[in-house]
Amino acid sequence: MRYVVGVDLGGTKTAAGVVGEDGSVLVQGQIPTKNRDGGEAILDATAVLVRFLMDRAAEQGATVDAVGVGSAGVINAAEGTVVSATDAILDWTGTHITAGLQARLGLPAAVVNDVHAHALGEAWQGAAAGTATSLMVAFGTGVGGSFVINGQPLLGHHFVGGHVGHFASPLALHRGVPLPCSCGHAGHVEAVASGPAVRAAYVREGGSAGLADTRAVFDAARLGDELALSVISRAARAAGQAVGGLANILDPEVVVISGGLADAGELWWPAMERTLRAELLAPLAGVPVVRASLGNTAAVVGAASLVLSPFSHRPQESP
């Protein structure tokens, strides 16, 4: 069987695994991302992780022959470079990921944005397996997504495709003023429907600033905190409204919802799906809306698919 390494390179941690051509994960590992040390240091550490996993795989008789990467940032998949990135990873913009890893490892490499990699994993081995088209949207620290067509993520002409958290939401307001978004604009989906947005809304509307994070707001809601219940409901409705609108535009065979909020259970999911379905055009009434199923391995498996099946999974620009 053929084996490659899939890498999920995020702002906090870098996870990787040796993935077989059947989608099985032979060995896995992860390291903290050196997000304050610049691109070259990150590539050095990533190469060390990949070599470690290659050695472990070799002990089991598996030889690795390529590396696929899902990376944080806007990624030029054709050139293998970081077009732009937030300050979650300092000096990441301009980094030559594929060339850098190829030079360090002596193996072919390919890269896409990490959310596209996540969606590829779900399309190949997860909740969207067997479908021709799938829309995946992740609600967590941010809001991102990917539209996969026959195993290929739609990247867009400038490789910005998938930034589904950055269009207007009528619910992203406070006292009539659009809420600031992480992208520098205001009134976007991410400003109301992300995890940090839930906590920010809770504090802004009079809740205790002592609640350290989004998880604490959900804990308060489970104990009957009316404000916590209200802000979670608003975030869920904003999420559903956004995904429903995207489904109307893209007409996917299946909608996959991922991220920490999707895993929050009954406090979030029913309101999200109810609002989503209220947005759908009549022919889409029966479209499946499902939770992502691969968990933390999705982006690793999806990144691996870039080099395991280069003809069926090669990323492409929009027409």
**Which residues 6+ apart lie within 8 Å of 301 measured at CB?**
6, 17, 19, 23, 25, 120, 121, 124, 125, 126, 294
**Confidence bin at 19 (pLDDT 50/70/90):** very high
- Give the Cα separation of 10 and 218 in Å (integer): 25
- Rounded mean pLDDT, 11-26: 97
Q: Which two tokens stand for residue 297?
A: 């391995």
pLDDT in tens, 273-300: 999 999 999 999 999 999 999 999 999 9
Identify the bridge partners of residue 149 per DSSP, sorted by sequence position.
133, 152
Predicted local distance difference test score (pLDDT) of residue 281: 98
- Give residue-wise pLDDT tens across range 29-86: 999 999 999 999 999 999 999 999 999 999 999 999 999 999 999 999 999 999 999 8
Distance CA 137, CA 144 (A): 6
At 248 the three-state DSSP class reads helix
Q: 210 — phi, psi (to 5°)? A: -75, -15
How confident is the model over 138-154, as a mean pLDDT? 95
Whether the predicted pLDDT of 131 surpasses 90? yes
The 10 Å Cβ neighbour count of residue 220 is 19
User: Which strand (E) or helix (H) includes residue 16?
Assistant: strand 13-20
* Domains of the chain, start order: 3-121+296-313 (3.30.420.40), 132-293 (3.30.420.40)
Its pTM stands at 0.93
Q: What percent of the chain has pLDDT over 70?
A: 97
Q: CA–CA separation, 292 vs 118, rounded Å?
A: 9
Tokens read off for 206: 């009079």
pLDDT at position 211 = 87
Task: Find out whether 144 and 162 touch, Cβ atoms under 8 Å.
Answer: yes
152-153 and 143-149 strand pairing: antiparallel
Residue 113: exposure state from Cβ atoms within 10 A (0-12, 13-18, ≥19): buried
Q: Are strands 143-149 and 74-76 parallel, antiparallel or unpaired?
A: unpaired
Asked if residue 245 has pLDDT above 50, the reply is yes
